[in-house]
C-alpha cells in the first residue's frame, strides 16, 4: 500500500494533502446574540407604555395635572390594546395575569382616569 490516494479523475498518484482547516461557525455566540436581541425586542410594548407614563409624570410635575392625567389614562388604554392584540410571546412585561384580566384592568383604569381628567373643572389651570 502507498500513501497515495486517487486524484479527482480517479487516477492514482496524488499524495494525500491535508485540506484547508475548516473553522467551525460560532453557533453558540450567534444563538446567544439572537436570544439577547429577542429579549430586548419583546419589551418594546412595555417600554412604550412606560414612556407615556413618564411623560404623564413630567406633565404632573410641571403643574399640568389634567394633561398628565389624560396622558396617563391614554397610556393605560394603549397598554390594554397592546396586551389584547399582541401574542403572549411578544407582550413582555405587559403580561401579568391572563389576557382577559390584564386587558380589563388596564382598560378600566385608563377609562376611569380619562373620565376623571375630562370631568373635573380645571379651576383656572390647564
CA dihedral angle for residue 18, residue 19, residue 21, residue 23, rounded to 10 degrees = -150
pLDDT digits (tens, 9 = 90+) for 24-43: 556 678 888 888 888 888 88
In degrees and rounded to multiples of 5, residue 19 shows phi and psi of: -80, 175
Return mean pLDDT, the chain: 83
* pLDDT of amino acid 103: 96
pLDDT at 118 > cutoff 70: yes
* pLDDT of amino acid 20: 60
Q: 11 or 85, which is more confident?
A: 85
pLDDT at 7 > cutoff 90: no
CA distance 102 to 93: 11
pLDDT digits (tens, 9 = 90+) for 48-94: 999 999 999 999 999 888 999 999 999 999 999 999 999 988 888 88
Give the 3-state secondary structure of residue 5: strand
CA distance 33 to 19: 31
Predicted structure pTM score: 0.70
Q: Of 37, 32, 34, 41, nearest to 90 (Cα)?
A: 41
In 62-91, which ranges are continuous DSSP H helix?
Answer: 65-85
Give the 3-state secondary structure of residue 90: helix
Q: 29 or 115, which is more confident?
A: 115
Q: Of 31, 48, 34, 33, nearest to 92 (Cα)?
A: 48
* pLDDT of amino acid 34: 84
Amino acid at each position: 500500500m502507498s500513501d497515495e490516494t486517487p486524484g479527482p479523475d480517479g487516477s492514482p498518484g496524488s499524495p494525500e494533502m491535508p485540506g484547508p482547516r475548516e473553522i467551525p461557525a460560532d453557533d453558540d455566540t450567534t444563538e446567544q446574540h439572537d436570544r439577547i436581541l429577542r429579549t430586548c425586542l419583546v419589551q418594546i410594548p412595555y417600554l412604550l407604555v412606560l414612556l407615556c407614563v413618564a411623560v404623564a409624570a413630567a406633565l404632573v410635575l410641571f403643574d399640568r395635572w389634567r394633561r398628565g392625567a389624560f396622558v396617563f389614562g391614554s397610556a393605560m388604554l394603549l397598554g390594554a390594546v397592546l396586551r389584547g392584540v399582541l401574542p403572549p410571546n411578544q407582550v413582555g412585561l405587559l403580561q401579568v395575569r391572563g389576557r382577559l384580566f390584564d386587558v380589563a384592568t388596564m382598560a378600566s383604569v385608563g377609562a376611569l382616569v380619562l373620565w376623571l381628567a375630562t370631568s373635573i373643572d380645571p379651576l383656572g389651570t390647564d
